[in-house]
Amino acid sequence: MNKEALRRWEQLRDLEEDNFLILFNDEYNTFDYVIKSLVEVCGHDTVQAEQCTIITHYKGSCEVRSGNRKILNSMKSKLKARGLESIVI
């Protein structure tokens, strides 16, 4: 594959909506802190943030957002700055 084709493929991949931001459980952040972070960073309403926080706590992780890879990576960075572990897949 030539460089131009690879660049176009990467741009298309970044536009895909089939990416997920996964939040991981930890042993030091409070429920209230995680809920507040999900509201402020991911745009959740309080109920959605509470549900994601509970799922993360009991299952170890939760898909907290889906969408564009670049936007999710930005959210991931903001969560990391708040001490929350996440990945984009």
Model confidence at 65: pLDDT above 50: yes
- Give 15's DSSP letter: H
For 1, the 3-state DSSP assignment is coil
Give the least confident one: 2-6, 20-24, 32-36, 40-44: 2-6
In the chain, the DSSP E strands lie at 19-24, 61-67, 86-88
When comparing pLDDT for 10 and 42, which is higher?
Answer: 42
